């Protein structure tokens, strides 16, 4: 198959980024990811095989998909993950492989993952206080995640990103604690607005509130040049000295801020208050083997069936047709006013892929 036309939606957006959920299983039960009593998990034969995923990546990489993120559930609970990552790295055209994890198993796997070719990692952490961490994750041990973060840094992952979801009345009092934590360990911390996934509408802490809180405590907190937000919106003027080089190359969904000492990057991902759909370059593959053009709507297409029934060229054409159905943007505010509507994403995040 020759190198050819890019994968493009009906709005002219090129799809270059594939997020792959390798499992719906997780060793935590986070409140925004699944219900307390868990959900019905996929049987082994219902989970997409590594072989099918590798074939899909091989086809898409020939059409411009060059960034891969491994997600779950918790990806590290699936056997053979490091070998799978190593095989993805061998696919021509793949330039970047990263992973999102809860960090619980990083002490065991960090070195193995790094040697397999994984160089960037995102770690979910929603509280620095043991009691709150237990409330949010229901069964987690904060010490395991903190150890995982330190080991990831020591191993050489760069950047090490921390994903933090703030929920009003639970952990929204820890904003400054998180910033100081990021500064101490020179981390890339991203505050993510709580999204209504699984039909759950909760009191989200909006990015603007967090930004204003940080600015009230740190005079040198300012926008990094080149981040997603228009620099004209940076009322403080200019970028933070010494941190521009820390801004991630792939930064289309977040606004990034830093400090003059250059010891941390603070990012904001704002799907509720400042949707970033206009630049969306993503496609998701669920653990069950379904292609999902948008995180926030439950339209899915069985890629295992498509792969089984078609050659590579035909697979690409069918996926190209699916991408043409991609929406221009989500409409959270509209849906939130009409909660009986079931048009937003009702699948839980462990099945969709974080």
Domains defined for the chain, CATH in brackets: 17-352 (3.20.20.70)
> For residue 210, what is the DSSP state?
H
Cα gap 214→219, rounded to integer Å: 9
Cα gap 217→76, rounded to integer Å: 37
Nearest to 259 by CA among 215, 228, 293: 215
Cα gap 171→122, rounded to integer Å: 20
Cα radius of gyration (the chain): 20
Cα–Cα distances (Å) from 217 to 182, 206, 210, 337, 347, in that order, read: 15, 18, 11, 34, 38
Q: What is the block-wise mean pLDDT of the chain (354 residues), using blocks of 10 residues? A: 77 95 88 70 93 98 96 94 98 96 97 96 96 90 96 95 92 97 96 67 80 97 70 37 38 81 92 72 93 80 93 95 84 52 45 53
Nearest to 68 by CA among 47, 48, 85: 85
Q: What is the predicted pLDDT for the residue at 234?
A: 36
Q: What is the predicted pLDDT for the residue at 19?
A: 96
Containing 258, the helix (H) or strand (E) segment is strand 254-258
Nearest to 54 by CA among 293, 227, 342, 285: 285
Q: What is the predicted pLDDT for the residue at 342?
A: 39
Q: What is the predicted pLDDT for the residue at 301?
A: 93
Helix (H, G, I), strand (E, B) or coil at 197: helix
Containing 116, the helix (H) or strand (E) segment is helix 106-116
Q: What is the predicted pLDDT for the residue at 191?
A: 96
Asked if residues 101 and 122 have their Cβ atoms less than 8 Å apart, the reply is: yes
Q: What is the predicted pLDDT for the residue at 68?
A: 97
Q: What is the predicted pLDDT for the residue at 28?
A: 85
Beta bridge partners of 302: 290
Residue 46, token pair as written in the block: 């219902």
Asked if residues 32 and 299 have their Cβ atoms less than 8 Å apart, the reply is: no
Helix (H, G, I), strand (E, B) or coil at 299: coil
Asked if residues 224 and 266 have their Cβ atoms less than 8 Å apart, the reply is: no
Q: What is the predicted pLDDT for the residue at 74?
A: 94
Helix (H, G, I), strand (E, B) or coil at 191: strand
Helix extents (H) in 118-206: 130-137, 142-155, 175-185
Cα gap 78→26, rounded to integer Å: 9
Asked if residues 187 and 146 have their Cβ atoms less than 8 Å apart, the reply is: no
Q: What is the predicted pLDDT for the residue at 232?
A: 33
């Amino acid at each position: 198959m020759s190198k050819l036309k890019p994968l493009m939606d009906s709005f002219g957006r090129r799809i270059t980024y594939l997020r792959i959920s390798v499992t719906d299983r997780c060793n935590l039960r986070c409140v925004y990811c699944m219900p307390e009593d868990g959900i019905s998990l996929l049987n082994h034969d219902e989970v997409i095989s590594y072989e099918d995923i590798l074939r899909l990546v091989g086809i898409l990489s020939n059409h411009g998909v060059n960034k891969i993120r491994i997600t779950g559930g918790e990806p590290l609970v699936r056997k053979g993950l490091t070998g799978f990552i190593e095989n993805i790295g061998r696919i021509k055209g793949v330039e970047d492989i990263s992973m999102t994890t809860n960090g619980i198993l990083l002490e065991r796997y960090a070195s193995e993952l790094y040697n397999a070719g994984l160089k960037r990692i995102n770690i979910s952490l929603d509280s620095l206080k043991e009691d709150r961490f237990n409330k949010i994750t229901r069964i987690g041990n904060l010490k395991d995640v903190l150890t995982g973060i330190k080991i990831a840094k020591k191993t050489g992952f760069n950047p090490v990103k921390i994903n933090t979801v703030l929920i009003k009345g639970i952990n929204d009092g820890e904003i400054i604690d998180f910033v100081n934590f990021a500064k101490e360990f020179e981390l890339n911390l991203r505050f993510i607005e709580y999204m209504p996934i699984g039909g759950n509408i909760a009191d989200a802490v909006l990015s603007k509130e967090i930004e204003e809180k940080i600015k009230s405590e740190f005079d040198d907190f300012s926008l990094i040049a080149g981040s997603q937000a228009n620099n004209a919106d940076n009322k403080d003027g200019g970028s933070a000295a010494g941190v521009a080089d820390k801004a991630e190359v792939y930064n289309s969904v977040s606004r990034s801020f830093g400090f003059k000492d250059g010891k941390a990057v603070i990012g904001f991902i704002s799907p509720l208050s400042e949707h970033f759909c206009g630049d969306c370059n993503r496609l998701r593959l669920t653990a069950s083997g379904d292609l999902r053009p948008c995180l926030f709507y439950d339209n899915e297409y069985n890629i295992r069936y498509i792969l089984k029934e078609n050659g590579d060229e035909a697979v690409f054409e069918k996926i190209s047709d699916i991408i043409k159905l991609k929406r221009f943007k989500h409409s959270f505010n509209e849906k939130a006013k009409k909660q009986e509507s079931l048009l937003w994403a009702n699948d839980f995040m462990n099945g969709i892929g974080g």
